[in-house]
Structure 1
Amino acid sequence: MNEMQEAGAAGTQQVTRVAARPFVKPESALARTAIDISAAHVAAGESGVCGYCGLYFPCPPAVHARMVVTAAGFDASAPLRLPDADVERVPDDAPGENPPEITPQRAADAADEEDSEVAPRDRVGAV
């Protein structure tokens, strides 16, 4: 496929030759993430806004994800389905320790504790 791109000077053109292979590996993390993003960012009913981020549809994340999906060689108009991943995920209802609720006081205490663990620096030498 040939793409014509205008260069700076009048009448000059640059031809970019694109090979028949995809730019992005279909099994790559980038392609999988783009498929996830385009599956999440869909129009919410007839309102014309994205149901995920609230921007007008097609929102920028959906547009960019579709570009990556197309670059990976997938049909951009087809509904996308992720192949099964080799990643083991922890279910949401897994038993275990619940993280403590973050409050402003806990955040301040954690920052103070972190500051006390850091060795004092020579301010002149750090600049």
Structure 2
Amino acid sequence: MMMSVDVPDPDVDAGQVIVSLTVFSADPIDQLASFGTERAAGESEHRYSLGTITFDQPDWNARIDQLESALDTLLDFLDPLPEAVLHAEGTVVRIFMTLPRGAETISARLVRRLANLNVTLWIDT
């Protein structure tokens, strides 16, 4: 008698996306105080974790819209901050994205918004 076992196909992509927004700053940022600040022992910089959005979307057309929405939602937290704070020498604004294999699309509008907010993108697959 043959036994049947379901083994996940490594080539099948569930379309998992993880997007997080973190701001690192040499000085405290009052407008982000509600997000708390994390500092490891011996570190002088302040780290503000503004949020993480996770979703699974195997359909790449739908994933484009969800990715744009997730990025806009997180970037909205930065809107109240003065440009001088976001562009300060001691400030790093980072979006970390874990994306499925293949290509993802971000609109020109969103690329401009990321640039205006001085966001650095870190991408993992």
TM-score category (smaller protein) = under 0.3
Which of the pair has the greater relative contact order for Cα pairs under 8 Å at 6+ separation? 2
Task: Give the TM-score, by structure 2 length.
Answer: 0.24
Task: Give the TM-score, by structure 1 length.
Answer: 0.24
